[in-house]
Structure 1
Amino acid sequence: MADQSSSPSKKERFANAALNAYIGATGLLPVRQRLSLTGWLVRHVAAHALGWYDRVDENLNFVWPELTEERKKAIASKSIDNLARALIENYDPEEMLQRGANYPLSGPGVPILKEARENRRPVLLITGHYGSPICARAALVARGYTVAGLLRPMSNAPMNARYIRNYRDVGEPVFEQGRRGTMGLIKHVREGGMAAMAFDVFESSGAMIDFLGQPAPTATSPADIALKTGALLIPYFGIRREDRYGFDAVIEEPVPHTDPVTMMTEVTKRLEARIEADPGQWMWTHRRWKPKRMAKRRAKAMKQT
């Protein structure tokens, strides 16, 4: 989490300056060229330096060991390209809103979402790091929806400041993850608002829910919030098209209110279906399972029993 109480280090300031220089230079390019260049540079330079290909390979070997090496390389390349594009898209909010207005909003949840807005019924939109969630949010905002966002702050404070500002330029309100931010989001939703959040990150204290065939610690807080506020819990996805620029914002049917683990199991299944249809759109660079840590957790649980 970003530490706002201390001054940025030289390393943080340098990284922020380098990023701003890159954004400024590539901002002179047409957006399609900017996205393609960023994807190429990250795939061929940054991803190797950061060890992303090794991480993708580890994750794929863990959940889909039967894949051929050729197939794993293709998924890794597409996944890293998608991540690069999603990162750079955040730095042009105006363009994202324009694109959001030009591409369709579809899915069985669209009329439900429209009715909820008209009746000011609380809605919590839930997604994963798949395709471009921020473009999907922009598609809703471009159509007049007020969709709050809950963001995990970056560790680099100067980068985080711009990241948050860009997200707010797409649409307010925006809350930073943490007690204050979560309480603000709950208040917004309880009063009849809509909010969007992602759930598919490693949550050490979360419930163990199978994800792509392997147990993964999963936060149940989105379902908790939906149950406390009476909000509809609606999965949504920003699915990239083959040209890697266009996208479809898909709104699915709400997840029935039952109990938090059952609800998040259903949300997980919805994301699994998207990943199985096009695995290259998911963020395989994330340490979603952390097998070694999970092995220690299971061993500790066995000792306690």
Structure 2
Amino acid sequence: MSKTTPPVPAPAPPLAHKVQNIAAQSVLRGALLLPYETRVRLVGWLVQTVLAPLSGWNKRVRANLDLVAPEMSEAEKHRISARVANNVGRTLIEIYSGDAFLDRVRDAPQSGPGIEAINEAKKQGRPIVLLTAHIGNYDAVRGAFAQAGHEMAALYKPMRNTGFNDHYVEAVEQIASPVYPTTSRGIASLISHLKKGGTIGIVGDIGSTKAPLLTFFGQPAHTPVSAAEWALKYDALLVPIYGLRQPDGLTFRIFADTPIPHGEPEKMMQTYNDSVEAITRAHMDQWFWIHKRWKRPGRATAKP
């Protein structure tokens, strides 16, 4: 008789990951005991005053602004750095707030030329790709449209800290489900949902060295073209859409830009980059400038 080889146990997470996860859970669980508005303000303040300086986010924000807006004053760069970190903190605890967050986005005002097209596509049962960005709270769109009757599915990128990733995914699923990891199986499940006439939410302003170089704020930026390719293959409506934070810092409005015409995938995604740039220029302190979005000059050449 052949012996069955026992499964190889998963390696234990690094001690640093354990410590990070315990610290994060302590803050999040403690904040969730507070009234909604208090917790959102508190976690925004904590990220702004503690995490952002320690993690180097402020330096990264300043470096990105130096690259794409060298004419900006130092005082304005400092203001944006603080506001960006605060918005990241608010976004995180909002995602963990489940029903309380959904209450805030359920009746969020919607505007822009893409709203009518989305509603019409839904009536026709046509697949829809909602292409959002890291601005305001990107999950405001998903939460609002799921509550409006869209069969929403989305992707998430698994985090290296598996302990944190587990409870983060649980929180994301409370806003709208299903969500799939960016693995081959997860992407296949997402595409299957789209093929059936569903709506998917994609965050497109991420860098990947495997993606073509397009331009963003006039600088070379790797931009995945998967969303455009899926829209072409399954005749899906492709709409840039954003959940923008209102001046009160607690509520949102949803803006859907002009649907992107079908064509060459890289041209379609350049149109998306241009849309994100325009909405970011109007709300400079809401885009996640903490990302490594650009190839630095001299290392690569952008497509015209």
Residue of structure 2 equivalent to 1:36: 41
Residue of structure 2 equivalent to 1:57: 62
Partner amino acid, structure 2, of 1:116 = A
Residue of structure 1 equivalent to 2:111: 106
Q: Secondary structure at the match of 1:13?
A: helix
CA distance in 1, matches of 2:45, 2:278: 28
- 1:165 deviation in Å? 1.3
Distance 1:115 1:5, change over 3 A: farther
Conserved in 2, the CA contact under 8 Å of 1:47 and 1:80?
Answer: yes
CA RMSD in angstroms, aligned pairs only:
1.5
Equivalent residues in 2 for 1:58-77, closer than 5 Å: 58-77=63-82
Conserved in 2, the CA contact under 8 Å of 1:186 and 1:229?
Answer: no
Q: Secondary structure at the match of 2:241?
A: strand
Quick one: which of 95, 115, 130 aligns to 1:90? 95
Residue of structure 1 equivalent to 2:256: 251
Residue of structure 2 equivalent to 1:242: 247
- Residues 1:281 and 2:279 are matched in the alignment: no
Q: Secondary structure at the match of 2:96?
A: coil
CA distance in 2, matches of 1:285, 1:258: 32
Conserved in 2, the CA contact under 8 Å of 1:189 and 1:195?
Answer: yes
- Residues 1:13 and 2:48 are matched in the alignment: no
Equivalent residues in 2 for 1:174-213, closer than 5 Å: 174-213=179-218
Give the share of equivalent positions with the same residue, in percent: 35
- 1:236 deviation in Å? 0.6
The CA deviation string for residues 137-165 of structure 1, in whole angstroms up to 9 with x for no partner, is 11111222221111111111111111111
Q: Secondary structure at the match of 2:116?
A: helix
CA distance in 2, matches of 1:255, 1:264: 9
Gaps in structure 2 of 5+ consecutive residues: 1-8
Residue of structure 1 equivalent to 2:5: none
CA distance in 2, matches of 1:297, 1:69: 28
| Matched length | 293
The CA deviation string for residues 31-72 of structure 1, in whole angstroms up to 9 with x for no partner, is 111111111111111111101111011101111111110111
- 1:297 deviation in Å? 4.5
Residue of structure 1 equivalent to 2:151: 146
Gaps in structure 1 of 5+ consecutive residues: 299-305
- Residues 1:295 and 2:298 are matched in the alignment: yes
The CA deviation string for residues 217-249 of structure 1, in whole angstroms up to 9 with x for no partner, is 111111111111111111110000111111101
Runs (4+) of structure 1 moved beyond 6 Å?
Answer: none
Quick one: which of 26, 29, 47 aligns to 2:31? 26
CA distance in 2, matches of 1:10, 1:204: 29
TM-score where L is the length of structure 1? 0.92
Partner amino acid, structure 2, of 1:242 = P
